[in-house]
Structure 1
Amino acid sequence: MISLVTQAAKHTFSYPTVAVWVLVAVGASVMGPFGTYSNYDWVPRTCYWFTICGCSVFLSQLVRGTVSRYIHDNTSWRFDVAAIMVMTLVLTPFVFGLSSIMMANIQGTHPDFWRIGRFVLLTSALITTIRRIHRFHQLTEAGQEGSGSIFMAASEEAAAPPEEGADNAEEAAQECRLRLRLPPEISDPILHLSARDHFVDVETGSALYSLRMRFADAVAEMDGVEGYITHRSHWIAADAVREPKRGGGKLYLVLSNGTEVPVSRTFRPELEAAGLL
């Protein structure tokens, strides 16, 4: 559970997630739904919606991570339905409680529990539908490889090594080609790769960055770094492993940054032979 919370927090404060929820919060602050425009001044209204949006992003990531432990295919309709329902059950009481606290001293009608619940359900369903349409459009337009997205963390041009290699690019390529896809400010060693829909989350000791690419391609670009696939959607650097851990009948590898990476039976023999288990 701690690893799920940690991953959700990293996703919440990673690019472009922060940009998305900040823009949504600003839009909600300007429009002021649920009576917040008439009941709040600009500053408390902005604080209210920034809190709502930020916590919603965090909880949605936490919910999706939890659901994925029971429904492994996160591209299936069963996964989407389960995520929508759990998100509604989790977020509705939170929004209702926060609204009740912040509007306790304000005259007027507060939004009732069921109205908030319907709003959360419809919003969750709308976002999920947009994700589905976006995914379908990418696959139709560019096949399984995909050619780009407004949510792409790094462009294909930035990922490709320059023809006339500069010193910095050559040094990065000697470590691994995947580093060329990351922003220059992310200089920590890559500890962990995890597949998420058509994205790969690249985790270092202090950052989490999402790249739109296939998981197998990301692993291939970690050439020069000793590492192992622990699960069909997880890769870890050997030097990042701190210790094995058991929990809930499952086996995990704890990394140096505290992330717990699941180990499947398929890849366990190789990890045992490497001395990581």
Structure 2
Amino acid sequence: MAKVANDTVVAETIAEARALAQRGRFWAALLGLGFVIGLTGPFGTYDTLPTVLRAAYWTVVVTTTFWLGYLVSFAVATCAEAYGINAPISLGIGAAVASVPLTAWLAGLHMAFFATPFWANAGELLPYVIVISFAAATSFEAVSSREVVPVPRATSTSGPAWLDQLPAHLGKDLILLHAQDHYVRAETALGQTLIRTTLHDAATDLGDYGIRLHRSWWVARGAIQAQRYRNGAPVVVLQDGRELPVGRTYRRALKDALR
């Protein structure tokens, strides 16, 4: 699995979860949703639990199921994207896999609170959990999406020594690198060439001159015009209008680099 900036699936998942947990509005919405559901008392809980206990029960259910589903689905979707499966398929795989531990968790809660048989209840819950997981993953990704966000143009700096590998007729105005087997395709404003190296090594040598976007793509900071979402997946818009995909494991590094 490709890595960048010492990121792993676990590290990226934790970083995203930490960033989400620091949002006050998110917690207000999550706890408020649990409280409102508790007042309505779905699935027979209105008659079986008193109001205070019912509100507490559903607040716990909503909070714990969200975090369990979020962490599992994000990690699985990140793994899927690392192997070349892009959104929205990777998102669907993450939601499907997350449905299993979510169902087990809910069936366990029901068994503890209402003495229902674990396996029978799990079988009844699974179809509903799958549908809700897909809907929640899609909605959360849509809320996270943004319209075109302009990126301030990078100030010109002296280029790194790696640029000396470029043929003289192509100049040193590097735009992007694209991994191709044991080579990278280097593109400048004047043309393209193949250089025998790995994208990881090239990105390391180029340092802050550019940003790794994907296991196959690197782009110079000065070539970035904006960030946006297309079909639920983040992309970087270049100055010439082209769009490059952003891998899930590279999103946090990209946000931090362009902040």
TM-score by length of structure 1 reads 0.45
Q: Which has the higher helix share?
A: 2
TM-score by length of structure 2 reads 0.48
Higher Cα Rg, which structure? 2
